[in-house]
Amino acid sequence: MTLTPTPPWEDFLRSHFPGYLLPESHRQGIDAASAARFLEHLTQRPDQLRLLLLASLFAARMDALRDFSRVHLPELVRTLHARTEVHARTWEGGYQGRLDVRATLAHHLNAGPTRFVTRARRRRFDLPEQILLRATVRQLVDELTRLRLAGVTASYGWSQEASAHEGNLRHLLASTVLREIPEERPGAFHLKAAAMARHEGYTLARSWFLWLDEVESIDPERRARLLAEGALVPLEDHTRFELAVAVRLLQALEARLVATQPGRWHLERTAVLPGRAELATLLRDDGARLRLFYNQSELDAGAVEAGTRHYLGHTGRMRPDLTLRLSRPGAPERAVVVEIKHSSRTATLLEGFHEAHLYRLEYGAWLTGWPQAVLVSSGAIPGTPRREDPVVAVDWARWVPDEVVDGMLEGL
């Protein structure tokens, strides 16, 4: 059987992690160096960094979460060990509970005829390994909830099991003897006890406690390793191609600015999340900036959207695959839009070129430089960009042409 070679853009994307955290994705481990490069520019956004590392952790260890949630924890809570303590209580004039006859008689013989002593048995589940167990389950529920509320997990893609495990862990925490275990912050003593315990549930609880602790690490190497093990990429190949185009454009812009204006520009990355802002920002020391948006309605509506809203009642927005917004002090902001087609079919590329022209008309007030719009395809495009064309087309093999980079950065 002949294997289909991996497209060059797939190889490129594999070595340039885009921070994709939408649910429709799957795990594709990357090398630690690629993870470290991405994390270098995400440190300005600690909330996104934490979500990214959490998602990577669960993506890499979903089998371990399944084993813990569905097998070992339910089995363990049915046989959880308890210590029984007997508590004595002295009553005056009457009593409730089980009477301690001997102690009560002693009071009566010593001029205490109205005193009574009762004894009550109380179960305690505060063994150190069990404190670690409860703390770990609580943290797993909290972190899975955090990912769900952020829109990172859903009932499909890499995280299709996550919501079920969250619900199961939440149920066990609220309706079994786990609720009787005291809430304490585990330490080295609790970890040692869990390591020595016989049941596999304690072993997994200890492992999860340590894995979750990795998310809080400030060590760049540990962060990069965690991200590399569970890096996520889109399920759909056309989405992966869009991100490859975006990352390569960002690289080309950064490389040119660093070469021509060394020491003046700073790159900040973001994760691809629901409700996200820009994909990345390049900032200059005087306030100039370039912001790259992915699959977002970022520019003000034009005639097409206004007309469809008025005549057809359509309230949706057009969303270019990429929107590059450029601003500098004392000058009007301008933009460039990019339409991306993962195809070599002529009909599909024609459709994409027409869409790029539509964007040019719709957002004309913003598209004041050159090029105004670009079509990028995975399939070959015979022609090369011409300066007299407001809309140009480029294939992956030649993306990003020097003249297109020059045009986008003109004036900066």
The DSSP code sequence of 143-212 is HHHHHHHTT---SSGGGTTHHHHHHHHHHHHHHSGGGGS------HHHHHHHHH-SSHHHHHHHHHHHHH
In-domain check, residue 264: yes
Per-residue pLDDT tens over the stretch 183-194: 989 999 999 999
Phi, psi of 76 (to 5 degrees): -70, -40
**Is residue 390 assigned to a domain?**
yes
- CA distances for 323 relative to 88, 89, 274, 281, 297, angstroms: 74, 74, 17, 12, 9
Q: Are residues 369 and 393 in the same domain?
A: yes
The model's pLDDT over 274-332, given as tens digits with 9 standing for 90+, comes to 888 899 999 999 999 999 999 999 999 889 999 999 999 998 889 999 999 999 999 99
Measured CA distances, 355 to 240, 313, 339, 358 (Å): 20, 21, 7, 5
Are both 169 and 317 inside the same structural domain?
no
Domain count, the chain: 3
pLDDT at 1: 45
* 15 has pLDDT over 90: no
pLDDT band at 243; cut points 50, 70, 90: very high
98: confidence class by pLDDT, cuts 50, 70, 90: confident
Indicate the residue type of 91: W
- 177 and 57 together in one domain: yes
Q: Are residues 90 and 200 in the same domain?
A: no
Predicted confidence at residue 87, as pLDDT, reads 64
346 shares a domain with 207: no
Q: In what order do the strands lie in the sheet with 280-284?
A: 265-269, 280-284, 289-294, 322-327, 334-341, 373-377, 391-395
Could you tell me if 242 and 183 lie in one domain? no
Assess whether 209 and 307 both reside in one domain.
Answer: no
Portion of the chain with pLDDT greater than 90, in percent: 63
Classify residue 22: in a domain, yes or no.
no
Is it the case that residue 157 has pLDDT exceeding 90?
A: no
- Residue 20 inside a domain? The answer is no
* ∠ Cα 338 37 371 (to 5°): 20
DSSP H stretches of helix in 230-291: 237-260
pLDDT at 86: 59
Q: Which helix (H) or strand (E) holds 88?
A: strand 83-92
Question: Domain check: are 182 and 42 in the same one?
Answer: yes
* Residue 358: both structure tokens together: 């539509």
Asked if residue 246 has pLDDT above 70, the reply is: yes
Q: Which token pair is 135? A: 């703390």
Same domain, 176 and 304: no
Residue 181: CA atoms inside 13 Å, Cβ hemisphere, count? 27
Lowest mean pLDDT, pick from 73-82, 236-245, 386-395: 73-82
363, 285: one domain = yes
In a domain, residue 274? The reply is yes
Instruction: Using pLDDT thresholds of 50, 70 and 90, give the confidence band for residue 44.
Output: confident
Q: What SS3 class is residue 64?
A: helix
List CB contacts of 207: < 8 A, sequence separation 6 or more: 64
Model confidence at 9: pLDDT above 50: yes
Nearest to 207 by CA among 132, 308, 310, 294: 132
* Structure token digits, residue 329: 């002090």
Write the DSSP symbol of residue 4.
Answer: P
**Residue 404 pLDDT:** 97
Q: Is the per-residue pLDDT at 83 higher than 70?
A: no
Tokens in use for 221?
A: 């190497």
Instruction: Give the per-residue pLDDT at 68.
Output: 96
Residue 120 pLDDT level (bands cut at 50, 70, 90) = low
CA gap 345, 260 in Å, rounded = 38
Contact 248, 175 (CB under 8 A): no
Q: What is the CA radius of gyration of the chain?
A: 31
Q: Is the pLDDT of residue 107 over 80?
A: no
Domain hosting residue 296, numbered range: 237-408
For 404, residues 6+ apart whose C-beta sits below 8 A from its C-beta are 371, 374, 385, 392, 394
pLDDT band at 56 (very low <50, low <70, confident <90, very high): very high
Mean pLDDT of the chain: 90
Same structural domain, 223 and 106? no
In this structure, what DSSP letter does residue 397 have? G
- Give the tens place of pLDDT for each residue, 351-385: 999 999 999 999 999 999 999 999 999 999 999 99
Task: Say which range, 63-72, 120-129, 228-237, 296-305, has the weakest mean pLDDT.
Answer: 120-129
Question: Which of 41 and 265 is assigned the larger pLDDT?
Answer: 265
What's the pLDDT at 104? Answer: 64
Clarify whether residues 299 and 335 are in a common domain. yes
Tell me: pLDDT of 3 over 60: no
pLDDT recorded at residue 323: 97
Tell me the C-alpha distance between 315 and 19, whole Å. Answer: 30
Model pLDDT, residue 82? 66
Torsion angle of the four alpha carbons 156, 159, 161, 166, in this order, in degrees rounded to the nearest 10: -130
Q: Helix, strand, or coil here: 226?
A: helix
In this prediction, residues 25-49 reach a mean pLDDT of 84
